[in-house]
Amino acid sequence: MDFFYGQETLTDIQWVLRAVIAFFFLLLASKLMGERSISQLRLIDFTIALIIGNILAHPLSDENLGMKGSLITTTVLITLYISSVYATLKWGKLRKIVEPSPYPLIKHGEIVYPNLKKARITIDHLLSELRKDKIEDIQKVALALWEPDGTISFFLSPHHQALTPQVMQLVTNPFSFPTIVVKEGRIDLESLKSASKDMDWLQNKLTLYNVQASDILLATVDGSDNFKIYLYE
């Protein structure tokens, strides 16, 4: 455990052990902080990520520094982070400070230029985000909101939205998510059971398509009994 403390020099294996400890400690930290800190870098998430990364980077590059202080400091910061997240869920005023409400960048096809300055983005960036959403005309946008996590939400004007079966008063089949029954040549018995199928049913399907399970990259079945297979090339 000498590598855990500050040393004048460290061997190659001691550097490796430090890196391994830091890696698994960060995995645990990320797990404790929850998926939100990974999927959404809001103000508090971005701040904590910068601090933790900086704290753990030092003992991984300087043999004179021990890891104990960094791990303790990181643990305290994670505790504070989790506490602040729960606090924002409980107190609305604190939530407004940490996670401010979204504000419009486009309203009724017109750019709200003062809010572009507030978000600190350029018109070029706004146009880039429009292109990513396949929107070529600003006037088609009824509302564009700058979200707290730095993304932009676009809402098209009703007469520019795509027609849906509901608008055309068409009857549609209920949604059914396909179940994977064969993957990479292996039959998933649990998935077969959850789809209310058995091996006899699957064998009949394989015979119908004249294939073996080992030939199949992926095979799925949905609630309407639609069976699809994708073979190895």
Q: Which carries the bigger pLDDT value, residue 201 or residue 94?
A: 201
Contact in structure between 38 and 27 (CB atoms under 8 Å): no
The amino acid present at 15, given as its one-letter code, is W
Q: Which fold has domain 103-160?
A: CRO Repressor (3.30.240)
Give CA angle at 57 (85, 35), nearest 5°. Answer: 30
Placement of tokens 């508090």 in the chain:
44
Domain boundaries, the chain: 2-95, 103-160, 179-231
Other CB atoms within a 10 A radius of the CB of residue 189 amount to 13
Question: Which tens digits make up the pLDDT trace of 17-26?
Answer: 777 777 777 7
Decide whether 103-160 matches 179-231 in CATH topology: yes
Look-up of token digits 């004249």: 210
8 A C-beta contact, residue 60 and residue 26: no
Smallest Cα–Cα separation from 1: which of 64, 57, 49, 67? 67
Confidence of residue 212 (pLDDT cuts 50, 70, 90): very high
Which homologous superfamily is 179-231 in?
bsu07140 like domains (3.30.240.20)
Given 3-state DSSP classes, what are the helix, strand and coil percentages for the chain, each rounded to the nearest 5? 50, 15, 35
* pLDDT at site 175: 73
Is the pTM above the cut of 0.75? Answer: no
